[in-house]
Each structure stands twice: as structure tokens, then as C-alpha cells.
Structure 1
Amino acid sequence: MIEAPAPGLPQIESAFQPVLSLAHSAAIGYEALLRATQDGVPCSPDQAFEAARRADRYGEFERACMRHHVQRFMRFADEDSVVFLNVHPDVLADPVQGPALADDLLESGMAPDRVVIEILEAKQDAPSALGDAVARLRSFGFLIALDDFGAGLTNLGRVWDLRPDVVKLDRELICKAVSSYRNARSLLRLVDLLHDIGTFIVVEGIETEEQARLSADCDADFVQGYYFGRPAIDIEAAMAAKSAGTARLDDGLIDARKLRRVGDLDELAPYRRGFVLLRDAWRAGVPIEMAAQHFLACEWALRVFILDDMGRQVGENVESDRHDHWRRATFPVLARSSGANWSKRTYFRDALVRPGETIVSEPYMSSSSKNLCVTLSAYLNVGGSGFVLGADILFEGLCHMLA
């Protein structure tokens, strides 16, 4: 069903792409996407909305698209499916078009809790007006999503301000994450951060099995992309896309691990062995400068240090004679290690509660040089006093060894 909202504006058709739950191996619903024509010639959504903007009827055209999408969706969707509707923030914040759009949706007969208003990534000059519009939509029971997080203007501040139910990660993030272990870990941390705020995460733009596996590894809630199903105008094709996408959410995809924890990396084995030799030599009375050579012989070893049982450093670092450019302090004061207090570091706290065990930290930023470190640590009793022995590995170097 093609609709022309008014003379001079593009004709509207709807396509639907499934959004799938990784945990449930099922589609939670569909994103409605505009497929427009102008004078019988297909045009992109950007071209269609630009034509409406030139005619000073952008809000009118946006509302016509919403009505058409919902009408089409109600013809084929089951009662558990939701529909994601893209809306420009200027339309939501407009004092006339915003309330009118909400009225249109309420009058459609579609339950508000089955409609996700997906706010497009775009500059918005009146953030307070957008916040008021979102609050109004939420009061009716509509769900809110932010599109293209990680690209352009859709940032953490907007998430904090609007508290969306769903955040969709820009496809560029998953593309870059599969190319680098470090990027993949950063994506995992980003998903954790957004979960802490209290929002579901959709990874968009998934086109390969590798991207799908990494999305599962990063604990994303939902996935969307050509790998699971292309947008379809025909209702039967949309249902087939849903079935095909669900079939790809098998246990092999969900259970397989691409992103290994640092502590599980086989590449750490020589560093673990070097650390054990260091630990045993120092505990036997070998001076730390000599004992450290067992560990510093490893390619990406950076330094060895000792903390007392309160977390204060005893003496200076024993540094590797390699990787000088990685160890250069950003600020001169930060190069002073003796007496520094590292009691808040997880490698120190974990070592205290698991004495004698070799602790492997997650990567963290060195306070002096900004490079990422992984620290091996152990709490030891030496000469009747407790100490935490620490040894840093340059994570950037370790990353080069990982597939």
C-alpha cells in the first residue's frame, strides 16, 4: 500500500527489518523503514525528507510516515512484537507537530507499549524541549530508543538526560571492534556502562557471523542487520526475514567466544612463568633488581614494583630497558613512583583477599604514561611483613599477539 500524504510530497511505502533477542533466539519486533518514490522514481529517505523540508512540511511528512508504518505493521505483526519508528528530534520537540504525532499514534489503535520511538541522531537546538517531549511520550506508555550511539551527536550525555529504554549502537562500532582485540574490549566496557544506566542495547549493522559472535560476547541484548534479515516491503518477505534471522541465533553462535578474558589468554603463559620465578627469587632474598630480570626478559614486560600492605609503593620501579616511548610520563610528577598510593587498584585489593595467588588484572590506564597495562600481582609475606608484588605488561604490545 503506497500512500501520498499530499500533492508534491513523496509517496510512502514501509519496509520492515527484524530486531532479534540474543538470549531468546527470537525477534522482539521490527524497525519500520521508509521506502519512498517521487514522481514514480525511487528516492532515498534523506532525499524524501529533504523534499518535505523544502516544502516546509517536514513534520507533516514525518507524521504521515508514522501512520503508514503503524497501519502496515498492524496487518502482519503478532501481539508480542513491537515496532521501532524513526523520528527526527526536531519533530518531537516541535510544539505543534510533536503532540500531534503522539495523538496520531494513540488514535491508531496500537498499544503504546508496543511502539518504540527511535530518536534519530541529529543536532537539536532545544534539548530541554526534547526532554519534555520524551517525558510526555513516556507518560502515554511509549518506549524510547536512541539511534546511532557512538556516531556524531548521540553521546553519553543524551543517554543520561533522556534515560531511553533502548540504545542502538552505530554500525561503525561493531565494524571496528572485530578488527582489534582492544577495540572489542572497549565495546564490551561500553555495553556494560550503558547497562549500568539501565537501557537495553541493540548492535546495528551486523553483516557477518564474526560481528554476530562478538555482539553476543559483549552481552548485547538485541541485534539487527543484513546477517539476520534485510528490510522487506512484502509482508511475507518480512516474516521470512524474521524466520531466517531467528534460525541464525543458534547455541553455537551464542556460546562461542571470540573475546577471551585477559586472564585466560594463552599468550600470558611466559609472563606467568616469569612472574613465578620473580616471586620465588625475591621471597628467597634475591634483591628485587636482580629477581625482576626473570620477568623483564619477556617481550612486553614493562616494570616490577613492590607495595606495602597499605598500598604504598616501596622504592622505585624496576623498569625494562625496552619500550622507552611507552613509559614516558605525561606529567613529570607522575614519574615519581616511590611512596605513591595504589590501594584503590583492583590488582592490589584482589591480591590482599587471595594471598599467594597470582592475580591477573583487567587492562587499565597507567597513571603516568596513559598506556594500557595488565598487572600480575601476588600478596606475599617477606621477613614477617606483608607486601604486594606487582609486574606490569604493556597491553598494546600484547594485543599485537592476539588473533
Structure 2
Amino acid sequence: MDSTRFPSGDGQPGAGGTGGAGAEVPLVREQAYEIIEAVLAGTDPEGAEVRERLREHVAAHPGNPEAALHEHLIFTRSLARQANNRPNPNKQDAHRHPAAEQISVPGRGQAAIEAILHGGMLVTAFQPIHELGRGGVIGAEALTRFLWEDGDGAGSWFKNAAAVGLGADLEFSALQAAVAAAQDLPHHLVVALNLSPAVCLDPRLPGFLEHAALEPSRIMLELTEPLQSDELEPLLDVLTPLRSSGMGLAVDEAGTEAASMRHIRSLRPDVIKIGRGLVAGIDADPSRQYLVADLVEFGRQTGAALAAVGIETAAELAVLTRLAVAAGQGHFLGMPTIDVKEWATWAGPATALQNRRGRRMAGQPPQTDGH
């Protein structure tokens, strides 16, 4: 293998380096090196152009594999779009660019998913979570990014992995990458880890979290899918000891259906997240404002803080803050990023919302409505 592909002029080792400098390389940088190494180790002729372009991107960013990967993603997505947008008079015989064939639409088969699992070909981006009332970053949500991700995003990988029986394995790989990358976040931040109910019920989860290199009080388990009725009781059995150890619980994209409200009452999460569907244009829609105000009150009754996802304008932010939504994230407040230097800018003192959550995690009962 060509060792010159990782420029070393700044003292940064290549993937797998074990020297003294290697111990100081941020873990997310090591992830990036490993992904680059895995791609460049390929020998298939159809991927030759992709590998050559990746070498060029690495050479253009000596010692900064995160930037090289980011630039490479832009290039590969462009190739995929060009290939997919070509006229296609005969679908079965349509010509596809060989590089696009290798890196285009995610989740096209079990082999591609297994390659990701075996090669660790994913990285973690973090998006900052802000306290809306007082300002400041209080947490970061871990978001999985795949080297060969196209416009469908990471969700396609997880959906297709589940279809071939590898959904839980892929989620655990993503969790492992997130926990490793979180070592480079400011240490006061809560780290939101996305989990499906199925993975919450996986017998591997308690052991994984027990040995995770994060203090339990920094972990926020975030349920990303609605519960089925028969999942509630087993889920409570799993979550109760985890939360007793100090971990928090968030329910993602909470709906207003009666079943969703009943599940939230039973789970009593620390955070109820409202999605872009309610946030978009809330400044110009009184009905959405009334609904969010009701959810804030519901959260108060059940001991949960409200957090808004997908804040994209100053007007949306102003209304959500006025409605006493406690926390929020979105492109207006901060984009997801794999840049460790940007993570460092989120450092700051613990805020009121963190202290509130810490009191509840310490065992003080939340305010309830008696139900």
C-alpha cells in the first residue's frame, strides 16, 4: 500500500499509526483516516477513479482527513447526481458511470451494508443543541454520516439494513462511532444518541452503555421511532435501570395522537422533541403556536422539557423562545459538523437546563399531574 498518500509534514500519522503523536490525534480524525484507508485499499478496476480522486483530496488537505472526506463526499455526490440524471431510454442497458455505480444510492444490497459494518465506513457529525432562554450550547446530537451517502441521507442505509436483518448491527456500529467521537466534545455537553425501540430492546444495549467511555449523566437516549403497544412494558424494564444510573431519555418527533401522549406519560422522558413539521413557519401560524404551547404545558405536567428540531429562521427561534420551549437545534443555530475545532467552540459553563436535568437524574421526582 502506498504510504505516501497520507502527507505527514504536520506530524499527523496515517491510519493505524501507533507513534506518540497518534495518541493525540482526535478520535474523529482517526475515524476519517480509517475510512480513507479502507477505500484506498480497494482493488476493483471500476473504483479506480474514486480512489484516485480521494488521493487528490487527501493530498490537498495534509493532516486534515475530515476536510478531505468532506470534499470527497461533495465530489461523489456530484458524480451520482450526474449519472442518475442522464437520459435513460433503456433502463436495463443504461450506462452508469463506474464511480457512481460504486458510491451512489445507499442501501442497494446486503453486501454494501456488510462492507460498512466490516470496514467502519461511517463517521459521526454532531449538531449543537442550544438552551433557548439563556443561550449557550448544552448538548450535541450524534448524527451518522456515510462515506457514500447520497441525497436520500443516512435514513436509507438504516432502512435497508433493517430490511436485510442488519438494522441493529448498523445502529450499534453508529453508536460505537458516536461514543468514540464524543470524547472530543466539550465535557459539559450532554450527548444525544439516537436509538430505535428495537435496539433499546436488544440484549446487547445495557452492556454496551455500561462500558461506553461516557459518564452516564452525559448520555441522553433518544427514541427515534413511535412505539408499538407491545413494546412499552419491555422498554420500561430496560430503561429504568439505565435511567437510574444517570442517563436521560428523549422522545423524538413527538406526535399529538392519544397513543403517543399515553406512551410519553408512561415513559416520563426528560425531553420531548418537536419536529420540523411543527416548527416550520410557526411565527406565521397561530394554530401551531397554540399546539406547541399545549405541548409545553404537557411537558411541564410530566416533568419533561420541550426541545425543537429544525429551527431555520430567527422568527421561528423568537416564537419558540417566547413559548418557553427550553432547547432547540437547527441550521439557524448550528449545522451538523465533523469538525473537532468547531466542536471546541461549544465549550461553556453548565446552564440552567443542564442543572435541572441533573437534579432529576439525581433522583428528585419530576412535577406530575397526578396520573
TM-score bracket, shorter-length normalisation: 0.5 to 0.7
Relative to structure 1, the CA distance from residue 92 to residue 29 in structure 2 (aligned partners, 3 Å threshold; closer, same or farther) is: same
Q: Deviations over 1:192-215 (max 9, x none)?
A: 221121111101110001100001
Q: Which residue of 1 aligns with 2:214?
A: 110
Q: Which residue of 1 aligns with 2:231?
A: 126
The number of residue pairs the alignment matches comes to 236
1:93 aligns with 2:192: no
SS at 2:130 equivalent: strand
Residue identity (%): 26
1:51 aligns with 2:163: no
Corresponding letter in the other structure for 1:206? I
Matches within 5 A, 1:188-337: 188-240=293-345, 242=346
Q: Which residue of 2 aligns with 1:34?
A: 144
Check conservation: 2:186, 2:344, Cα contact below 8 A: no
Q: Which residue of 1 aligns with 2:285?
A: 180
Q: Which has the larger radius of gyration?
A: 1
Greater helix share, structure number: 2
Gaps of 5+ in 1: 244-403
Greater strand share, structure number: 1
RMSD: 2.5
Q: Deviations over 1:97-149 (max 9, x none)?
A: xxx22322221221001000000123434221122122132132211100001
Relative to structure 1, the CA distance from residue 13 to residue 181 in structure 2 (aligned partners, 3 Å threshold; closer, same or farther) is: same
How does the TM-score come out when normalised to structure 1?
0.54
**In 1: Cα distance, 2:113 partner to 2:214 partner:** 24
1:16 aligns with 2:126: yes
1:135 aligns with 2:240: yes
Relative to structure 1, the CA distance from residue 47 to residue 183 in structure 2 (aligned partners, 3 Å threshold; closer, same or farther) is: closer
Corresponding letter in the other structure for 2:226? A
Check conservation: 1:121, 1:152, Cα contact below 8 A: no
Corresponding letter in the other structure for 2:147? T
Check conservation: 2:226, 2:260, Cα contact below 8 A: no
Q: Deviations over 1:40-72 (max 9, x none)?
A: 878622221133223422212211111110110
**In 2: Cα distance, 1:86 partner to 1:215 partner:** 23
**In 1: Cα distance, 2:243 partner to 2:227 partner:** 22
Shift in Å at residue 36 of structure 1?
1.2
Shift in Å at residue 151 of structure 1?
6.8
How does the TM-score come out when normalised to structure 2?
0.58
**In 2: Cα distance, 1:232 partner to 1:152 partner:** 33
